[in-house]
């Protein structure tokens, strides 16, 4: 069977599975819709959390980013796993004991304030939509490359599937589909990684293969060979960083704290039966996540090595098929600067910006480019996103592995999109309508509004996927920075500082939020030409500024709360109550 | 087995603390029990914070210490074909994170049983 037919088969089978699960697990009450009835087993919730968390960015982009950045890519590995330690130790058990439906619920009740709830809802919606746009782009890429359909059609099919299980099943449907999606995505990630590890080092465990000796008789380890190869081509060595230590520190912290503060992740811990299950479930989630996250650096190093070795000094006429396929998609560009018909790959950009193709082909049959070439000897532009997707082809793996990667990429993107869309619809129907604007609505009406909100959110996400705003890549820093600077401190203080009052926390959230927002907007949009380390505050980039926003939040919250009156007695009792695991019961509605 | 023995002896220790505090109070009324419960919760919370503090120090040392601040120094050494600092940044820290959560799960269960506030 051809790879294309296999891909249709795999993707079709996985979609059928998701829809089957959705029909089996329809939600009948708001509790089922919001928190899956509160009875999800910790291991199932761990898998669902892992699928929820590992997005198109983790599956498709992360290894590619690490392949290009080397050591500097560690910030993503550390940040996106270390946050789970904070989540398990500092937030999840207490929020589970609190036992309600949403993150704004907690902030609204703990700080006895409608204003605090609304601020939290605004943060949540902004964070979630920023994130969801990236998922839809991932769906589009996979569809257009592997199924050779138009991106628009791809996004609409993806949206249709999410629509069925998110609108029908709510959290219950999403949870069990995410369990299936985790299995699909981890299998799809591991199989090619194991194959490639065996091919390059003879060791079937990628985590060990990364440190093993390359099986080419050179006697060098993978990393040593990569360092040497890249140095020869004028790159800096793979295992050494080029970012300033303070910036690496700040970015890692912002990603960790932001991870712990992301509403779609936190809300997963509302679905387990007990407080101790919330802790356990976070542990399982991190095991399932770590499986992919410890494999990714191996995939990254193998891919970079493979890429350099197959492409550099190969004539275009003899270049492998994947090179031309991805050129067709627009993620690879080659400009034959010295007109020798041979591909030269080296440090530096081949030309300014991303490729803009002309209608004519070059002398060797390559797609013509209208970009102005740079002085660098490098002739190749390669989008980072292709590394995971093209890796099986680069390593000449069989067609079914390639088909599997397509199904895995879609599972990763759709599971995260569904989780995000759910928290958006929940915070609209529950926090905005039921708790603020229309407190008189019945449960049945609230459920209907939740479904309508989910449908609308899917529509918006689909629109963003088909017409991706140019700034998607730039605003990813927003999601983590804002979560770190606003939601995380507010929740943490709510649990650990009994004296914290609404004045303190609102002032803290707003100052963290405004500071971080303004800093990112200034360097990304207002004056992007100033976006370099000499102009940054203490050498911290917009990606890491959430760390400073968080510290500012804490500082302001403490100062303001000391100057104002302590929270009322019933709130202090609430804090005492959430600190003790006894008597959590199931997630209740009130 | 060992664990249970340990737990019960700690419980005894706890009981004796309360007994001691109870001596200063005139009667064993409702108010007394409330105070007792508050004490248990306070001690439980303190034990939790101590455990949290210890684990978060390890969390900080492996991620921000070994992987970022001291990465260059550790890169002088090598481990299974990795530069040591690089290994901490891209592999080791993640394994430690997983271990930390499970240590917390087990230790918290023990603390909660000791103070009688577990959710089983």
- How would you write A67-106 as a 3-class SS string? HHHHHHHHHHHHHHHHHHHHHHHHHHHHHHHHCCCCHHHH
More confident residue, B59 or A274: B59
Q: Which whole number is the average pLDDT over A194-217?
A: 82
- Band the pLDDT of A583: cuts 50, 70, 90: low
| CB contact B80 to A (< 8 Å) | yes
DSSP single-letter state for residue A213? B
The complex's ipTM?
0.86
CB contact under 8 A, B119 and A583: yes
Residue A218 has pLDDT above 70, yes or no: yes
- Band the pLDDT of B5: cuts 50, 70, 90: very low
Paired residues of B79 in beta bridges: B82
- The mean predicted confidence, pLDDT, of chain B is 75
Determine how β-strand B82-83 pairs with β-strand B78-79: antiparallel
pLDDT above 70: percentage of residues in chain A: 96
Residues from chain A contacting residue B83 (CB–CB below 8 Å): 223, 239
pLDDT score at A554: 94
CB contact under 8 A, A208 and B80: yes
Angle, helices A74-86/A275-311, rounded to nearest 10 degrees:
170
- Each residue of A162-182: b (16+ CB within 10 Å) or e? bbbbbbbbbbbbbbbbbbbbb
Query: Hunting for tokens 């779609």 — which residue is that?
Result: A264
Contact by Cβ (8 Å): A342, A314: yes
- Each residue of B68-80: b (16+ CB within 10 Å) or e? bbbbeebbeebee
pLDDT score at B49: 92
Where in the sequence of chain A do the CATH 1.10.4160 domains occur?
A: 3-306+397-468
Highest mean pLDDT among A128-142, A304-318, A493-507: A493-507
CB contact under 8 A, B89 and A294: no
Residue A528 has pLDDT above 90, yes or no: no
Q: State the smallest CA–CA distance between residue B20 and chain A in angstroms.
A: 24
The Cβ of residue A259 has, within 10 Å, a number of other Cβ atoms equal to 23
Backbone angles phi, psi at A369, to 5 degrees: -120, 145
- As a whole number of angstroms, the distance between CA A203 and CA A34 comes to 45
pLDDT score at B31: 56
Note every long-range contact of A574-578, with CB atoms under 8 Å and residues 24 or more positions apart, other chains counting: A574/A98, A574/A109, A574/A110, A575/A110, A575/A494, A575/A495, A575/A498, A576/A498, A576/B41, A577/A97, A578/A94, A578/A95, A578/A97, A578/A98, A578/A495
Out of A61-70, A289-298, A459-468, least confident range: A459-468
Nearest-CB residue to A294 (from B44, B94, B102): B94
Of A380, A92, A18, A582, nearest in space to B40 by CA: A582
pLDDT score at B84: 83
How remote is the C-alpha of B36 from its chain's centroid? 23
Backbone angles phi, psi at A360, to 5 degrees: -90, 155
Q: State the smallest CA–CA distance between residue A513 and chain B in angstroms.
A: 25
How much of chain B is helix, strand and coil, in % rounded to 5?
80, 5, 15
- As a whole number of angstroms, the distance between CA A456 and CA B29 comes to 58
pLDDT score at A476: 64
Residue B29 has pLDDT above 70, yes or no: no
Secondary structure (3-state) at A54: coil
Highest mean pLDDT among A32-36, A229-233, A301-305: A301-305
- The mean predicted confidence, pLDDT, of chain A is 82
Secondary structure (3-state) at A237: coil
- As a whole number of angstroms, the distance between CA B98 and CA B75 comes to 23
pLDDT above 90: percentage of residues in chain A: 11
Of A345, A309, A79, A306, nearest in space to A209 by CA: A306
Q: Which whole number is the average pLDDT over B29-45?
A: 72
Q: Has residue B119 been placed in a domain?
A: yes
- As a whole number of angstroms, the distance between CA A419 and CA A175 comes to 9
Q: Has residue B47 been placed in a domain?
A: yes
Note every long-range contact of A220-223, with CB atoms under 8 Å and residues 24 or more positions apart, other chains counting: A221/B81, A221/B82, A222/A301, A222/A302, A222/A305, A222/B81, A223/A301, A223/B81, A223/B82, A223/B83, A223/B86
Helical (H) or strand (E) element with A315 = strand A314-315
pLDDT score at B20: 43
Q: Which whole number is the average pLDDT over A438-458?
A: 82
- Band the pLDDT of B53: cuts 50, 70, 90: very high
Of A48, A485, A95, nearest in space to A254 by CA: A485
Secondary structure (3-state) at A464: helix
Measure the N-to-C terminal CA separation of chain A; round to a whole number of Å: 56
Q: Which whole number is the average pLDDT over A561-580?
A: 88
CB contact under 8 A, A208 and B64: no
More confident residue, A555 or A54: A555
- Band the pLDDT of B17: cuts 50, 70, 90: very low
Contact by Cβ (8 Å): A249, B71: no
- Band the pLDDT of A409: cuts 50, 70, 90: confident
- Band the pLDDT of A469: cuts 50, 70, 90: low
Q: State the smallest CA–CA distance between residue A74 and chain B in angstroms.
A: 6
Nearest-CB residue to B41 (from A211, A282, A580): A580
Residue A492 has pLDDT above 90, yes or no: yes
The Cβ of residue A231 has, within 10 Å, a number of other Cβ atoms equal to 13
CB contact under 8 A, B94 and A293: yes
Residues from chain B contacting residue A301 (CB–CB below 8 Å): none
Q: Has residue B48 been placed in a domain?
A: yes
Residue A477 has pLDDT above 50, yes or no: yes
Q: Has residue B71 been placed in a domain?
A: yes
Compute the Cα dihedral for A200, A203, A209, A214 and give only its sign.
negative
Of A301, A269, A273, nearest in space to A286 by CA: A269
Residue A290 has pLDDT above 90, yes or no: yes
Residues from chain B contacting residue A78 (CB–CB below 8 Å): 63, 67-68, 89, 93-94
Contacts of A216 (CB under 8 A, 6+ apart): none
- As a whole number of angstroms, the distance between CA A109 and CA A112 comes to 5
Residues from chain A contacting residue B44 (CB–CB below 8 Å): 580
| Count of all residues that appear for chain A in the document | 590
| CB contact B61 to A (< 8 Å) | no
| CB contact B55 to A (< 8 Å) | yes
Q: Which whole number is the average pLDDT over A490-508?
A: 91
Residues from chain B contacting residue A208 (CB–CB below 8 Å): 80
pLDDT score at A245: 83
Backbone angles phi, psi at A544, to 5 degrees: -100, -5
- As a whole number of angstroms, the distance between CA B54 and CA A274 comes to 25
pLDDT score at A474: 57
Q: State the smallest CA–CA distance between residue A267 and chain B in angstroms.
A: 19
Residues from chain A contacting residue B86 (CB–CB below 8 Å): 71, 74, 223, 239
Of A253, A282, A252, A279, nearest in space to A50 by CA: A282
Contact by Cβ (8 Å): A78, A279: no
| CB contact B56 to A (< 8 Å) | yes
Token pair recorded at residue A498? 């009994």
Highest mean pLDDT among A125-134, A309-318, A506-515: A506-515
pLDDT score at B105: 92
Residue A115 has pLDDT above 70, yes or no: yes
pLDDT score at A560: 94
- Would you identify the CATH topology of the domain A3-306+397-468? Hydantoin permease (1.10.4160)
Please report, for residues A54, A370, B108, the alpha-carbon distance to residue A265 in angstroms, rounded to integers and kept in the order given.
Answer: 10, 43, 22
What's the pLDDT tens digit per position in A10-47?
888 888 888 888 888 777 777 777 777 777 888 888 89
- As a whole number of angstroms, the distance between CA A427 and CA A31 comes to 14
| CB contact B66 to A (< 8 Å) | no
Nearest-CB residue to B93 (from A73, A78, A93): A78
Q: Has residue B69 been placed in a domain?
A: yes
Nearest-CB residue to B68 (from A213, A240, A245): A245
What's the pLDDT tens digit per position in B72-107?
887 788 877 788 888 888 898 999 999 999 999 999
What's the pLDDT tens digit per position in A52-74?
888 877 888 788 888 888 888 88
Residues from chain A contacting residue B69 (CB–CB below 8 Å): 245, 249
Q: State the smallest CA–CA distance between residue B7 and chain A in angstroms.
A: 18
Query: Hunting for tokens 């500024």 — which residue is that?
Result: A545
pLDDT score at A195: 86
- Band the pLDDT of A286: cuts 50, 70, 90: very high
- Band the pLDDT of A589: cuts 50, 70, 90: very low
What's the pLDDT tens digit per position in A342-401?
788 887 777 777 777 777 777 777 877 777 778 777 888 887 777 777 878 777 778 888
- As a whole number of angstroms, the distance between CA A140 and CA A79 comes to 27
Q: Has residue B99 been placed in a domain?
A: yes
The Cβ of residue A8 has, within 10 Å, a number of other Cβ atoms equal to 17
Helical (H) or strand (E) element with A382 = strand A380-382
Secondary structure (3-state) at B60: helix
Q: Has residue B32 been placed in a domain?
A: no
- As a whole number of angstroms, the distance between CA A586 and CA A588 comes to 6
Count interface pairs A-B at CB distance under 8 A: 134
pLDDT score at A557: 93
The Cβ of residue A513 has, within 10 Å, a number of other Cβ atoms equal to 22
The Cβ of residue A488 has, within 10 Å, a number of other Cβ atoms equal to 28
Note down the domain range covering B76: 43-120
Chain B nearest-CA residue for A211: B81
Q: Has residue B22 been placed in a domain?
A: no
User: Residues 1..40 of B with a Cβ closer than 8 Å to A: which?
Assistant: none
């Amino acid at each position: 069977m051809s790879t294309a037919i296999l891909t249709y088969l795999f993707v079709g089978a996985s979609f059928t599975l998701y829809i089957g699960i959705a029909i089996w697990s329809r939600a009948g009450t708001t509790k089922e819709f919001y928190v899956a009835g509160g009875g999800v087993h910790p291991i199932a919730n761990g898998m669902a959390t892992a699928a929820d968390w590992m997005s198109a960015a983790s599956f498709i982009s992360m290894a590619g980013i690490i392949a290009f950045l080397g050591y500097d890519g560690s910030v993503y590995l550390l940040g996106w796993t270390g946050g789970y330690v904070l989540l398990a130790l500092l937030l999840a058990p207490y929020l589970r004991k609190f036992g309600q439906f949403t993150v704004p619920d907690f902030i609204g009740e703990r700080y006895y304030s409608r204003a605090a709830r609304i601020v939290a809802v605004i943060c949540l919606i902004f964070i979630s939509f920023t994130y969801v746009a990236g998922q839809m782009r991932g769906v589009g890429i996979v569809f257009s490359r592997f199924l050779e359909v138009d991106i628009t059609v791809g996004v609409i099919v993806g949206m249709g599937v999410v629509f069925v299980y998110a609108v029908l099943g709510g959290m219950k449907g999403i949870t069990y589909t995410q369990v299936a999606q985790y299995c699909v995505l981890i299998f799809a990630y591991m199989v090619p990684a194991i194959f490639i590890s065996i091919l390059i080092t003879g060791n079937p465990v990628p985590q060990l293969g990364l440190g093993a000796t390359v099986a080419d008789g050179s006697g060098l380890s993978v990393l040593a060979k990569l360092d040497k190869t890249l140095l020869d081509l004028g790159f800096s060595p793979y295992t050494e960083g080029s970012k300033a230590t303070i910036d690496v520190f700040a970015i890692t912290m912002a990603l960790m704290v932001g991870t712990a503060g992301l509403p779609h992740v936190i809300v997963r811990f509302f679905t387990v039966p007990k407080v101790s299950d919330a802790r356990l479930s976070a542990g399982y989630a991190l095991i399932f996540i770590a499986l992919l996250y410890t494999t990714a650096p191996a995939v990254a190093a193998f891919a970079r090595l493979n890429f350099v070795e197959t492409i550099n000094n190969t004539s275009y006429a003899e270049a492998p098929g994947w090179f031309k396929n991805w050129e067709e998609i627009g993620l690879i560009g080659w400009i034959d600067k010295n007109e020798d018909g041979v591909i030269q790959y080296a440090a530096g950009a081949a030309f300014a910006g991303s490729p803009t193709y002309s209608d004519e082909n070059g002398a060797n049959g390559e797609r013509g480019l209208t970009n102005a070439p740079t002085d660098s000897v490098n002739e190749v532009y390669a989008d980072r996103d292709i590394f995971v997707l093209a890796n099986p082809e680069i390593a000449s793996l069989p067609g079914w592995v390639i088909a599997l990667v397509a199904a895995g990429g879609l599972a990763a993107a759709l599971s995260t999109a569904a989780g995000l869309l759910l928290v958006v619809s929940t915070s609209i129907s529950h926090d905005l309508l039921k708790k603020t604007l229309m407190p008189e609505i019945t449960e049945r009406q609230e459920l209907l509004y939740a479904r309508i909100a989910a449908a609308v959110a899917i529509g918006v996400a689909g629109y963003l996927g088909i017409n991706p705003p140019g700034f998607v890549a730039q605003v990813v820093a927003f999601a983590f920075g804002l979560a770190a600077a606003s939601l995380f401190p507010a929740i943490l203080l709510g649990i650990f500082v009994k004296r914290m009052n609404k004045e303190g926390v609102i002032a803290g959230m707003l100052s963290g939020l405004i500071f971080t927002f303004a800093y990112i907007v200034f360097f990304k949009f207002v004056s992007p030409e100033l976006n370099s380390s000499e102009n940054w505050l203490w050498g911290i980039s917009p990606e890491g500024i959430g760390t400073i926003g968080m510290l500012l939040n804490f500082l302001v919250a403490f100062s303001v709360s000391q100057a104002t009156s302590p929270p009322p007695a019933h709130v202090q009792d609430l804090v005492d109550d959430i600190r003790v695991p006894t008597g959590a019961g199931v997630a209740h509605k009130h | 087995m060992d664990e249970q023995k340990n737990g019960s002896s700690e419980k005894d220790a706890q009981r004796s603390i309360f007994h001691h505090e109870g001596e200063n109070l005139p009667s064993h009324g409702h108010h007394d029990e409330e105070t007792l419960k508050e004490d248990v919760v306070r001690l439980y919370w303190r034990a939790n914070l101590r455990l949290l503090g210890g684990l978060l120090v390890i969390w900080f040392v492996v991620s921000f210490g070994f992987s970022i601040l001291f990465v260059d120094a550790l890169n002088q050494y090598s481990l299974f074909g990795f530069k040591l600092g690089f290994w901490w940044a891209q592999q080791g820290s993640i394994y430690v994170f997983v271990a930390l959560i499970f240590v917390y799960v087990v230790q918290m269960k023990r603390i909660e049983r000791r103070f009688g506030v577990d959710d089983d």
